[in-house]
Amino acid sequence: MSATGIARTVATDAPRAAPLYVASLGAGSPLVLLHGFAMHGGVLAGLAARLAARHRVHVVDLPGHGRSCSANVDTLGAVADAVATSVAAARAHDTAAHAPVAVLGWSFGGQVAMAWAAQRPAEIARLALVCTTPSFVTRADWPCAMAPETLSRFGDELAVAYRATLQRFLTLQVQGSDAGRAALAQLRARLFEHGNPAPAALARTLALVAGNDLRPLAASLYVPALVVAGARDALAPAPAGAWLAAALPAGRLAMLDGAAHAPFLSHPEAFGAALGAFLDER
């Protein structure tokens, strides 16, 4: 399928979802934060607080995660549509309610951000894709990912004991990272802060994680884009981030040495410097 075909499918392949939970803070140019699989916006609270000094920040809980309802959202396009609609509602009374937004998407949230930019390009000013990959699983021509069998086994474990499985998942996110122990403590402290994730929503989202291959989409996204990659990331390996940055027409790469999958926690200064320089560009 062509990139245009993917964008069209992303835009129209599912019904509109119910509004999502959006926390808004700060003042300045609009910035949306999207978390990763099985997390919630509270995991990004520290980052949001720092960014709120210069931006009007909107932190979203994705469908079925955190405080958002467990809507029957089965496609990436439907997730992106729910996010776009909910953010628009949250911005309704902002001074610049109709100005394009910058979107920071972490991990799966980065895939949602890419889908949003594909289906509603006029709404997006720039993208910051943090530890994001166009495909989280290996394919015949895509070796820089996890084996499909590994993700399938994770799904089986999630269905049996999701709390214990998610705790192990957090460990994988910081594996090999400098300051990984401190980052893990922060993730563990916030994991269930917005309530327990809905098991059915986790299963649906995991199916998207397994099925998404956004490589054909990348070349059609002309918005300025920063790809932040962790050199030691086991979930979105560094070569995947490098590929994505090169494939995006206006993409660039910030490779953080010593970082794994949560650089905003493990390497806040280096991460903040790269992100701030990108967001402050005119």
Phi-psi category of 38—alpha, beta or left, where left has phi over 0 and alpha has psi -120 to 50?
left
Q: How far apart are CA 55 and CA 46, in angstroms?
A: 14
Residue 33 pairs in a beta bridge with 59, 104
Q: How far apart are CA 51 and CA 54, in angstroms?
A: 6
Degrees, nearest 5: CA angle 159-160-165 = 80
What are the two backbone dihedrals, phi and then psi, of residue 251, each rounded to the nearest 5 degrees? -90, 155
Element (H, E) at 244: helix 238-247
Q: Rg of the chain over CA atoms, in angstroms?
A: 17
The alpha carbon torsion through 66, 70, 74, 75 (nearest 10 deg) reads -40
SS3 202: helix
For this structure, is 55 an active site residue? no
Q: Which of 61, 81, 178, 233 is catalytic?
A: 233
Buried/exposed 237-249: b ≥16 CB within 10 Å, e otherwise: bbebbebbbebbe
Kindly state the tokens that stand for 230. Answer: 């962790």
Q: Which of 107, 135, 177, 266 is catalytic?
A: 107
For this structure, is 266 an active site residue? no
Give the amino acid at 102.
A
Q: Which of 35, 55, 194, 261 is catalytic?
A: 261
Q: How far apart are CA 250 and CA 95, in angstroms?
A: 28
For this structure, is 233 an active site residue? yes
Which residues participate in catalysis according to the annotation? 107, 233, 261
